[in-house]
Every structure is written in structure tokens, then in C-alpha cells.
Copies of this chain bind each other. A is one copy, B any other.
Amino acid sequence: MQKLTLKKIAQELDVSISTVSKALRDSPEISDDTRQKVKAFATLYNYRPNKIALSLKNRKTKTIGVIIPEIVHHFFTLVVSGIEEVANSRGYNVIIGLSNESFSKEVTGMETLANGSIDGFIMSVARETQLKKDYHHLNETIDQGMPIVMFDRAIDSVACDKVIVDDVEGARKAVAKLLSLQCKNVGILTTEDHVNVGKLRTKGYRKAMKEANLEIREDHILKLADDLNREENLSQLKEVIKTYLMENAAIDGLFAVNEIYALTAMKAAMQLGKDIPKDFKVIGFTDGVLSKYATPSLTTVSQHGKQLGQKAAALLIDRLEKDNFDPPFETVVIETELVERKSTS
């Protein structure tokens, strides 16, 4: 049983293709008689218009392309689920491309989608792209009239809508919380400076300290090397953190820029005999699944990934459905939220 088309219906009913099309779309040009005849036939055999043909005709696909660095990652899946939700409710499909943090995969991935398959992009750039600072592929697709919405890892110099997390403020709130809980010495576990979010969250740490009129001790700021993030180096990561905690024994509050750092720090601290949260409090960033199930459960700064995705999709679709793509670009900031758990109370 092959797909039913307008042409086949027309042949079957001995009318023209145009008549069938119009009848199905309730055109007043068609008599009630024929209209009903056509509609009955169509429903009986379950006619569905071919989407590809429609896309070609209308020059829009009702599909949005999502490019993310990886999918095995809780934050990105939350964003995707938010995107999918509003996209679906507004009649759009979602097509996914993974860059695997690689610049060239990002470029080719976008190229294969930009040739008619989709109407616009929602994306978070690969780490390698951030390092190279090469954004020609973004600017080119925008020049071709295809709108982009960037999220999380947004690039200032690219002219498009953006949805970002307020990393600085989220970090500031976390550190302020630790201070309000009477922590006397608050440290931070962060990344090397070239990782944008690490830099921003460190900025938030400094801000909170400054607001509390506390001296910022550079030896309380531990910048962890990239390669320690890899799974096989987990035990090494723990040792580095443990050393840090021993050398800075006064630290009684710790802010970590991601879940892994926070959990590893908790393990290290417990091995050093510290009692969490009594004499050592920890807050992480990213409301991942680990925080909830850690022992003790971890207080974190939630980024509201799902709302972020919803907002990004809404921005893109709004722009797609304007007859004019030009209105000024927006940058929406998603508020973070401190989710308190056992590691601080």
C-alpha cells in the first residue's frame, strides 16, 4: 500500500488535481457535492499531504535544527526537552546535530542542515569553536537569511537572539549563601580561564566576596586542568582536591563550578574526616541528576535548562513567523535558582 497523493485521488474520482486540492482545503470554488466526495475518499484512505512537497513549495520546512556539543549530558537534554516541547506545540519538528565539541563537525553539521532541511538554528557552540574564535559559519548562515538562536555558550560578536544563564549572578548567590551560613573561609573549585563559564562563575565568586568586604585569597581559588575532567582521571582529580583542602585547612565552605568537582570535593572532604554540612558546606553549579542522589545530597545552582530551551524555541519561532526577520535581536537571561539540599544544611 503506497502513499496516497492528490494525483491518485484525482484519477480515482475523475476530477483534476486542483479540484482535489481545493476541495480538501475547503475552497468556495468547489461545489458541496464534489467537496464531500473528495473528503470522504481522503479520510477513508487516510490521505496525508507530503511534507517534502509542501516544504519545497512554501520554502519553509517547519523544522528547526539544534546543534549541541553533546547529548549525553544532563543540561543539554533538559534544553532539548524544552525546545521540543514548544516546537511541537507550534507545529515544528526538531532535528539534532552533535558537534562533539569539535569545530569541524559543527561546521559540516550546520552546512548539511542549512541547505533547505530546516528553517533556523538553535545552538550552543563547541568548545573548540570558542577556542578558535572562528565564527564564519555562524555569520554566513545568518547572512543567508537563516536565523540562529544561541544559548548558554553565546558569542557576543554574532548578531542573533541569545538565551543565556546568568553565571556571574548564580555564582554570586551561591557564595553569598555560604557566607550567610557563617562560613569563614570560602574557596572555589573552577576551571582554567579559557572555559567561559568557569571564568564567569569565578567572577561571581569574587563579586560576592567583595560585597562582603572579604579579602580574596588567590590560594583559595583552585583552577583545575581540563584533562582532569576525563573519567579515567577521576581519582587524580580527587587527589588534587584533597591536597588543596589539606593545604587550606581553614576552608569551611566551598563553591564548585560543576557537579563533578563538587561531588569529588565532598568525597575528599569526608575522607579527610570533615563533617558535611556541619564543618564543611558545599554548593555546586548545574542542576544535574548527580546532585539529587549524592550522599549527602548537594545544594546547587539550577540553570533551569528546560525553561532555557523553551525560551530559545519561542524566540526562534517568533522570528520565523514574522514576515520580517529584522527586528532587533534579544538577549534573554534565564534566572538561576539556588536549590538547597543537605550539603548546606
Judge whether B74 and A144 touch: CB under 8 Å.
no
Judge whether B56 and A84 touch: CB under 8 Å.
no
Judge whether A84 and B71 touch: CB under 8 Å.
yes
Given contacts A70-B81, A71-B77, contact A111 B293 (CB under 8 A): no
Indicate the member of A52, A74, A145 with the most B CB atoms within 10 Å: A52
Q: Is A43 on the interface with B (CB-CB < 8 A)?
A: no
Complex Cα distance, B53 from A27, in Å, reads 27
Instruction: Give min CB distance, A213 to chain B, whole Å.
Output: 36
Select A72's contact among B2, B77, B293, beta carbons within 8 Å.
B77
Complex Cα distance, B2 from A306, in Å, reads 34
- Stretch in contact with the other chain, from A11-19, A113-121, A150-158, A201-209: A113-121
Query: In the complex this chain forms, how many copies of it are found?
Result: 2
Contacts of A109 in B (CB 8 A): 88
Select A51's contact among B49, B80, B117, B293, beta carbons within 8 Å.
B117
Select A144's contact among B2, B231, B289, beta carbons within 8 Å.
B2
Q: Is A282 on the interface with B (CB-CB < 8 A)?
A: no
- Stretch in contact with the other chain, from A95-103, A188-196, A326-334: A95-103
Contacts of A2 in B (CB 8 A): 144-145
* Chain A 40-80 residues near chain B, CB threshold 8 A: 48-53, 55-56, 61, 63, 70-74, 77-78, 80
Q: How many residues of A contact B (CB 8 A)?
A: 53
Q: Is A3 on the interface with B (CB-CB < 8 A)?
A: yes
Complex Cα distance, B290 from A231, in Å, reads 13
Judge whether A115 and B48 touch: CB under 8 Å.
yes
Q: Is A249 on the interface with B (CB-CB < 8 A)?
A: no
Select A116's contact among B52, B270, B290, beta carbons within 8 Å.
B52
Which residue of chain B has the shortest Cβ distance to A73 in the bound complex?
A: B77
Given contacts A72-B78, A84-B96, A95-B93, contact A116 B50 (CB under 8 A): yes
Instruction: Give min CB distance, A206 to chain B, whole Å.
Output: 28
Complex Cα distance, B116 from A146, in Å, reads 23
* Chain A 284-299 residues near chain B, CB threshold 8 A: 289-290, 292-295
Judge whether A295 and B295 touch: CB under 8 Å.
yes
Which residue of chain B has the shortest Cβ distance to A112 in the bound complex?
A: B93
Given contacts A96-B94, A145-B2, contact A289 B290 (CB under 8 A): yes
Q: List 16 A-B contacts (CB under 8 A).
A: A3-B115, A50-B115, A50-B116, A53-B56, A63-B95, A71-B80, A73-B77, A74-B289, A84-B96, A93-B97, A93-B113, A94-B95, A95-B95, A95-B96, A96-B96, A293-B294
Chain A residues engaging chain B, CB cutoff 8 angstroms:
1-3, 48-53, 55-56, 61, 63, 70-74, 77-78, 80-81, 84, 88, 93-98, 109, 111-117, 143-145, 231, 234, 260, 263, 267, 270, 289-290, 292-295
